[in-house]
Structure 1
Amino acid sequence: MQKSEIQRVVTDMLPYLNNDQLIKLRQSMQKLLIPKNSIDLKNETLLQKYFSSKRAEGCSEKSLKYYRNTLEHALCVIGKNAREIITDELRGYLTDYQFTHGSSKVTIDNIRRILSSFFNWLEDEDYIIKSPVRRIHKVKVATTVKETYTDEELEKLRDGCTKIRDLAMIDFLASTGMRVGELVLLNRDDVNFNERECVVFGKGNKERVTYFDARAKLHLRKYIETRNDNEEALFISLNKPNRRLTIGGVETRLKKLGERVGVGHVYPHKFRRTLATVAIDKGMPIEQLQRLLGHKRIDTTLHYAMVKQQNVKIAHRKYIG
């Protein structure tokens, strides 16, 4: 029996057998056991191999931890070897999870996406014949317009700064649109004041160049001139010992500043979304914005950039009448 004929038999049996049974069927017909498909492979072994693969692809440790917690919980609740799990069991798990935890559709779809990544990898590596997540479709989530800062709110935040560091930080976030995780990793040597640019390391340790405006340049330079420490970090804590500012430190400082000046929901990522929206409204090509923000997929950039309704109205009158 040829390999193609064996595969046709396996394909014909897809509706009737689970992945583990299909593998045993194929192995029996081939009369040759493939080591990687040994029945001794436990879930933990499969997870280790999967995460080794994701780590090699540049996935961050923070993301890997989230993936591991999600997958381990699902496999533990279902209580079966991953190669034996069928679609209905995964559907049941997602439904029960949403009911038990009162989770949003976004959360459930994130879990579905992680399960899909894992089982697709198992399929690609020939640990299973077909991913049981293939027939579980993306959860439909209502599109909501995410908040951005208005020009007035940005000025309130700037006027409310009592420390030059905070003013420089706000201007830097607003003009670069970088992630807060990228901001806290920056060193003084990463900044080129002449070109008004800096090198950042984004998700997956991918390096890119981003840019800041003249106002950010002036305030950042003034901030650095006031420092007399030897810390290489671009932004440091105000109190001694002056250490590199953390993500939590930035978030807490911005939140308190917002509360003090009467601007609601102040957090670092909102600066990124604001820049994306302004850039799109002013006609910046989406491909260039994607590169500026360091997005792997252009869909992510489109999700960030919410075009203002007034501009849609103006465009309608211009192009359609």
Structure 2
Amino acid sequence: MYNQQTKETIVDNILLKASIAMGMGANALQVLRQIVVEELVRVNLEEITTLPAVTKKSVDEANKYVLGLYGIKKAPKLSNGTNERYLTAVKNLLTVIQNKKLVEMDSLDIEQYLRWYRTRNPEKENQNSTMNNERRYLCAFFSWMRKAKLITENPVEEVDPEQVIRKPIDFLTREEMEILRGGCRTLRDRALIEYLRSTGVRVGEVIITKYQDIDWTTGDILVYAPKTKTYRTVFLDSIAKVHVKEYLDSRTDKNPSLFVRYRGFHGTLKDSGIRSALKCIASRAGMNRRVYPHLFRHTFGTWLCESGASGDLVADMMGHKDFATSRTYYVARNTGQMRHAHNQLGMAMV
């Protein structure tokens, strides 16, 4: 056991020092790891007990070591957004629970941090769902530490998540979709809402999609999901094809992105720009409700199920591992179908 763990520690230390000293990227570090592992396979290590004990690392040094190791071993496997959320949670934890090493954190430290996190904004407490998200980020980080053999147990797992009353899933009715179309003033406005409606993509997937990715014969688009690091095919229906193509044909810029800003150098329309555009469209349409990118994803999943698509098909088209995720978070219950079933039950009992 000592031999194996020591070899892993040596490999980690070499990679971390190479990353810091030479600025090696993920690919170069992976090659270096393979080289070092191949060499260490032939070596047996023994613990040296005759030399004086090595001075223990300070708290700051120990925590920097863990974060540095995370940066070269785990971070490259995550999307930028996920990685940022994990690191923000851990750095906040270290700010609240001071002078303590990450490898020594226990469940009481986690509880104390989460109590602070709930009331960090004196004017408004964080909701239970927000608290559970923060707990999940920490749990994922400490799970990585456990798998990396930095700790033996994950202290976050001993802290129960908060009870959450799940609200009904928000989605657009077909009537609301028609009203929203009335708020479109530009070709981009209409193309944007039809694209989101027809594909059900995440906003991050819109940003990185290029217009060359569209097969105009079939309406197929191969999109990459940074969240899951997977590809899937989504589709433009006949209405969406017309409006997206009309918008793209009207552009004179050289930006290959699917949607671009109007001003300046016509840079890619980012998350905030898409949200702002949808908010303006809804305002012009006189809608008294929030309209945001993920609303179209909820709508897409709900309409798919209403059309009779199977659970597996819905999960595939939304980029989920299984239908449980789609059903829990994205597919609203069809009140009309439930009412019809209840009426049928009543007639059968007469």
Name the TM-score class by shorter chain: 0.7 to 0.9
Q: Which residue of 2 aligns with 1:224?
A: 248
Separation in 1, partners of 2:94, 2:265: 45
CA offset digits 1:187-246 (Å, max 9, x no partner) = 121000111111111124422211121100111222222223322222222345333222
* Other-structure match for 1:25: none
Residue correspondences, number: 288
SS class of match (1:134): helix
* Structure 2 residues without counterparts, runs of 5 or longer: 3-45, 49-54
Q: Residue 317 of structure 1: CA displacement? A: 5.5
Tell me the residue number matched to 2:87: 68
How far residue 111 of structure 1 moved from its aligned partner, in angstroms, is 1.4
Find 1:115's aligned residue among 124, 138, 149.
138
* Per-residue deviation, 1:300: 2.9
State the partner residue of 1:83: 103
Confirm or deny that 1:92 pairs with 2:112.
yes
CA distance in 1, matches of 2:81, 2:212: 26
Q: Which residue of 1 aligns with 2:314?
A: 289
Task: Name 2:25's counterpart in structure 1.
Answer: none
Superposed CA offset, 1:113-164 (max 9, x none):
1121122222222211212122212222111013211212211121221212
Matched-pair contact (CA < 8 Å) for 2:187–2:246: yes
Q: Which moved more, 1:288-297 or 1:195-204?
A: 288-297
Contact 2:86–2:141 (8 Å) recurs in 1: no
Query: Is 1:249 aligned to residue 248 of structure 2?
Result: no
* CA–CA distance in structure 2, aligned partners of residues 120 and 39 of structure 1: 24
Q: Does 1:140 align with 2:160?
A: no
- In the superposition, relative to structure 1, how do residues 75 and 193 fare at CA in structure 2: closer, same or farther (>3 Å)? same
Q: 2:291 & 2:87 partners in 1: Cα distance?
A: 31
CA distance in 2, matches of 1:134, 1:233: 42
Q: Distance in 1 between matches of 2:104 and 2:270?
A: 43
Percent identity (aligned): 28
Helix, strand or coil: the match of 1:133? helix
Among 38, 46, 66, the alignment partner of 1:46 is: 66
Equivalence map 1:202-281=2 (5 Å): 202=225, 203-263=227-287, 264-281=289-306
The correspondence for 2:154, drawn from 122, 128, 131, is 131
Residue aligning to 2:17: none
Q: 1:242-265: per-residue Cα shift (whole Å, max 9, x none)?
A: 332222211111101111111121
Query: How many Å separate the matches in 2 of 1:280 and 1:144?
Result: 19
Kept in 2, the 8 Å contact 1:280–1:307? The answer is no
Rounded to whole Å, the distance in 2 between the matches of 1:247 and 1:43 is 33
Structure 1, unaligned runs of 5 or more: 4-30
Please tell me whether the aligned partners of residues 281 and 307 of structure 1 are also in contact (alpha carbons under 8 angstroms).
no
**CA shift at 1:298, angstroms?**
4.3
SS at match of 1:245: coil
Q: Give TM-score, length-normalised by structure 1.
A: 0.82
The normalised TM-score by structure 2 is 0.75
Instruction: Please state how far the C-alpha of 1:316 moved relative to its aligned partner.
Output: 4.9
Alignment counterpart, residue 186 of structure 2, candidates 143, 163, 183: 163
Cα contact 1:51–1:64 (8 A) shared by 2: no
CA distance in 2, matches of 1:84, 1:247: 38
SS of 1:209's equivalent in the other structure is strand
State the match for 1:306 in structure 2.
332
Report which stretch shifted further, 186-195 or 123-132: 123-132
Please give the alpha-carbon distance, in whole angstroms, between the structure 1 residues aligned to 2:272 and 2:194. Answer: 19
Pair 148,205 (structure 1): closer, same or farther in 2 beyond 3 Å: same
Paired with 1:315 and 1:52, the residues of 2 have a C-alpha distance of 55
Asked if the contact 2:107/2:155 (under 8 Å) is kept, the reply is yes
Structure 1 residue identity aligned to 2:336 = Q
Counterpart Cα distance in 1 of 2:313 and 2:65:
42
| Residues 106 and 141 in structure 1, CA contact (< 8 A), matched pair in contact too | yes
In structure 2, what is the Cα distance between the partners aligned to 1:83 and 1:212? 50
- Distance verdict in 2 for CA 1:32–1:304, change over 3 Å: farther
Alpha-carbon distance in 2 for matches of 1:243, 1:117: 35
Alignment match, 2:20 = none
Cα RMSD between the aligned structures? 2.4
* Alpha-carbon offset, residue 310 of structure 1: 2.6
Secondary structure, in 3 states, of the residue corresponding to 1:231?
coil
Query: 2:126 matched to 1:103?
Result: yes
Moved more, 188-197 or 93-102: 93-102
